Chain A
Amino acid sequence: MSDAIRFTLNGEETLYNGNPADRLLDVLRETYKLTGVKCGCKEGECGACSVLMDGELINSCMVALGRCEGSNIVTIEGFSKTEHFQVIDKAYAAVSAVQCGYCIPGMVLATEALLVKTPHPTEEEIRTGLSGNLCRCTGYNAIVKAVQIAAKEGDGLW
């Protein structure tokens, strides 16, 4: 049992007894049933599988469980309980930035990661901050606008 990997998952102390080489994305979805974490490529290219690891945005398809030892992992399911989420949610809703929704959990966490670093980003900073997350539906304008609204409405939160 001392072999288990210990990490915090959405605020809960978690022990993972499987293979340390297992892909974080697969473990989140299959073992912990956190299906808000999406898979768009499994090659680190699309961002659909984005989660926060110690506050940094990472592609969970590119991380082995072994690397998660001692870390704090937050998925969309955990993030949805936060005040930050509420603000971002409202902002995306106001401009109808969600189309097929498949990129969205990743986008939301990318938005959070960006606003934590840069609470009042310029448009260019937003576009750079979201550039690791592909969206085929929206053309990105509505998402960029949503981030701007979130930054404004959530002034002081980040």
Chain B
Amino acid sequence: MGQISGSVVKRDHSTKFSGAAIYVGDYMESDILTGKILHSQKAHAKLIEVKVPELPAGYYYVDRRDVPGDNNVNIVKDDMPVFARETVEYIGEAIGMVCGPDESMVEHILSAIEVVYEDLPVVTDVLKSDTAFFDYTITKGDIDKAFKEADKVYEEVFETGFQDQTYLETQGMMAEPQAEGRVFLHGSLQCPYYVLNAVTRALGLPREKVHIAQDATGGGFGGKEDYPSILGCQVGVAAVATGHKVRCIFGRREDLEFTPKKHPSHNTYKVAVKDGRVTAMDVDVIFNGGAYTTLSAVVLQRGIICANGVYDVPNLHIRGRAIKTNTVPSGAYRGFGGPQTFVSVEMVMDHIARDLGIRPLEFKLKHLVKKGDSTSTSGKYHFDVPIVEMVEELDRICDYRKKREMYAKPQTGRYRRGIGLSMCFHGAGFTGSGERDFIKAVVRLKKSADGMVTILISNTDMGQGLRTIMPKIVAKELDLPLTQIIYEYPDTDFVPDSGPTVASRSTMVVGELLCQAAKRLRAEWQDGEEQMIEEHYKHPEFLIPFSLDDFKGDAYPTYSWLVNVIELEIDTYTGRPQVLGAYGCFDVGTPIDYNIVVGQMEGGFLQSIGYASMEYMTADKTGRIRNNSFSDYIIPTAMDVPNLKVILHTVEYPEGPYGAKGAGELPAVGAPGAYMEAVEQALESVDLHHIPFTAEDVLKSLEEAEKK
């Protein structure tokens, strides 16, 4: 760890700590109209009529007829309407919006609106849907030959559920009409330029007529990657239609029920084993995409690329489909497709190892990829794979191996223990050539005559620490005190498009560009002068070109790595699995700020444990999600995992600033594999096949065991 890693007080600490930071809900002007969405109550229906009662003066109803531009939200495929067309496709879809000065009056009007529907068939089961939004295949080697020559073939299905991002600040956006027909939008968001592209299109306005700014943002975790574009278009349309400022902030129930979450998945693994080694995997990955495509294409791509985990499997056939159903569109959640396939491959490897009578850890390490090996997409692991060292470091702090032996002995009491270990990577940055072909990041540094340096980028801090990280990089290169570097919440009127704040790319890609810009500024520095330095993204030269047509090449320039261990105790009376210890070793390259990186790892790790264990959410046959409050959708409190330990391991990435690589998502990828291995051990080596695995599931499993 170099000098850069020493922690400083976060630059936004004081405003947030004292409650002075302004989130979108905190603007208190009296001329803001409250907007509330008229949500569809049907998962699939024709919209026959919307009967709006006579509105009091100053109150408005807007819907698709008020959209001045294109009634499609620009995301990836642009199939999601701003306001519903002739049909609604999921419960919660926005039909229209009621706006007015008094919130309770707006609510009253909403409840008085009568929507006449004509029911259409509802599909909630991915296996019964006949529409695949996306269908991709990865192939490598000769799968048929491998299966023909196999000693043994295993086939198992794994299922994963929804997970909601559950940022503590719900979705919220505000639009303000400005002079000369301009429209200003601001709110809780990750990607100002995504919102700009969507809103200009929906409003039919040229770019210079719209600008987007970020307010203090109460968490994102992927959930504010696409949805602010949708909500932004809706409040934008309402502001233009009414001529007033319009703000829409979701209630918690609305947010839990109607905004995108992690794709549920159904993954079939067929695995060929010869001479004690996995020789082939034939994997069928099915993601529930929900009613519209939104981000499913890119989530699925990442998901299938991870389907063979961190293992060198010479022969692969991976098919991935994102299926349309009449549930809320699934979207981005920290990890972006990886958590679903990683837990599946970790479990199948465990099960095979146990069947072969080999310790799972030994079996996994035997298959571990190493530097120079080829990836699932026939690209290359260009850098060191530190998993072996990380396993040893973790074993030293938690005694994994010893406990694994100990808990393998028959346990008969009320409380039974287990311990499990998982290993994963997260490919840093956009998949494939996205950075080069679509994002084309631009950063600027502006120096004023008095020597203050302003960072001009569109990346956002939603808690992950960018407002501290980026100034640290620039200050170090310029050899200036941190206080001389300014980095405000971005406004698209003032900052270039340095890309979205997603894909664990900000520090690695944008931070590196800032580092380059700062180097140049230092070389060209002129006292007393105003100066502007601009840097453009350059694709690393060592990469094997990636093609989405056949999924061949380097999907990622480098990888971040993790090893997780979960130790738990099951109460066989209540079914409750109590996590006794959660130990994570993470390699995200050089930490730009030690505290910030550890905080990211701890927070992500706990989310990942929640995903595996308690965060249960499902849609019923009518397409309704009933786990829509904090009493039905349980996220971890301070008491749930009291003993969570994080250590860092550093393999520097030469193309990232000071050796940093992707950090944000990695910790949210790995816990389920370890958790499930621990549960299986505590339940005496049953094979389990789904997450979350809750107390009820434990009881069911115990009951079944008793019957046998």
Contacts and interface: CB of A to CB of B under 8 A. Distances in A.
B669 to A, nearest CB: 15
Interface in B616-639: 629-631, 635, 637-639
A37 B19 contact: yes
A40 B170 CA distance: 7
B209 to A, nearest CB: 30
Contact of B599 (A38, A48, A138): A138
Nearest to B216: A101
* Consensus secondary structure, chain B interface: loop
B642 A127 contact: yes
Which of A33, A39, A101, A105 has the most C-beta atoms of chain B within 10 angstroms of its own C-beta?
A101
A45 B631 contact: yes
Interface in B573-593: 593
Contact of B169 (A38, A94, A98, A128): A38
Which of A46, A93, A132 has the most C-beta atoms of chain B within 10 angstroms of its own C-beta?
A93
Interface in A65-88: 75-77, 80
Contact of B252 (A36, A40, A99, A139): A40
A27 interface: no
Contacts of B168: 38, 40, 46, 48, 100, 102-103, 134-137
B637 A136 contact: no
A41 interface: yes
Contacts of B630: 41, 43, 45-46, 134
B465 interface: yes
Interface stretch (B22-30, B503-511, B550-558): B22-30
A108 interface: yes
Interface stretch (B9-17, B61-69, B128-136, B684-692): B9-17
Nearest to A76: B19
Contact of B629 (A38, A41, A136): A41
Contacts of A54: none
24 contacts: A38-B23, A38-B169, A41-B252, A45-B630, A46-B630, A76-B19, A89-B14, A93-B10, A93-B13, A96-B599, A98-B13, A98-B17, A99-B463, A101-B16, A101-B21, A105-B19, A108-B17, A131-B639, A134-B630, A136-B165, A136-B168, A136-B607, A139-B644, A141-B646
B251 interface: yes
Interface stretch (B41-49, B217-225, B302-310): B217-225
Contacts of B646: 141
Contacts of B174: none
A118 B117 CA distance: 58
Nearest to A81: B18
A133 B637 CA distance: 7
A139 B605 CA distance: 7
A96 B593 contact: yes
Interface residues of A, number: 56
B315 to A, nearest CB: 39
A144 B606 CA distance: 14
Contacts of B7: 96
Contacts of A93: 9-10, 13-14, 17
A79 to B, nearest CB: 9
B16 A104 contact: yes
B169 A131 contact: no
Nearest to A92: B17
A92 B605 contact: no
Contact of A35 (B10, B19, B595, B605): B19
B602 A141 contact: yes
A89 B14 CA distance: 8
Interface string A124-158: 10111011111111111111100000000000000
Contacts of A102: 23, 167-169, 218-219
B639 A136 contact: no
Contacts of B217: 100
B415 to A, nearest CB: 19
A120 B602 CA distance: 25
A127 B639 contact: yes
Interface string A17-52: 000000000000110011111111111011010000
A100 B219 contact: yes
B580 to A, nearest CB: 14
B17 A143 contact: no
Nearest to B462: A100
Which of A42, A89, A100, A128 has the most C-beta atoms of chain B within 10 angstroms of its own C-beta?
A100
A127 B638 contact: yes
Contacts of A89: 14, 17-18
* Consensus secondary structure, chain A interface: loop
Interface of A: 29-30, 33-43, 45-46, 48, 75-77, 80, 89, 92-105, 108, 123-124, 126-128, 130-144
A140 B25 CA distance: 25
Give the size range of B's interface with the partner: 35 or more
Nearest to A108: B17
A80 B219 contact: no
A77 B252 contact: no
Nearest to B22: A35
B9 to A, nearest CB: 5
B397 interface: no
Nearest to B26: A35
A101 B28 contact: no
A68 B409 CA distance: 59
Contact of A142 (B16, B602, B642): B602
B4 to A, nearest CB: 15
Given A43-B629, A131-B637, A99 B642 contact: no
Contacts of A95: 595
Contacts of B251: 42
A143 B637 CA distance: 12
A68 B179 CA distance: 44
Contact of A143 (B21, B635, B638): B638
Contacts of A97: 599
Interface string B594-611: 011011001111110000
A124 to B, nearest CB: 7
Contacts of B638: 126-128, 130-131, 133, 135, 140, 143-144
Interface in B184-222: 216-219, 221
Nearest to A45: B630
Contacts of A34: 19
B13 A139 contact: no
Nearest to B597: A96
Given A42-B251, A136-B221, A99 B25 contact: no
Contact of A96 (B21, B25, B595, B606): B595
Contact of A134 (B10, B26, B635, B644): B635
* Smallest CB-CB A-B distances: 7 pairs: A36-B19, A101-B16, A100-B463, A102-B218, A45-B630, A139-B602, A99-B463
B325 interface: no
B639 A128 contact: yes
Contact of B19 (A80, A123, A130, A140): A80
B454 interface: no
Given A41-B252, A144-B638, 19 more contacts: A45-B631, A48-B168, A76-B19, A80-B18, A93-B10, A93-B13, A93-B14, A98-B12, A98-B17, A100-B168, A100-B463, A102-B169, A104-B19, A130-B638, A138-B602, A139-B644, A140-B638, A141-B644, A142-B595
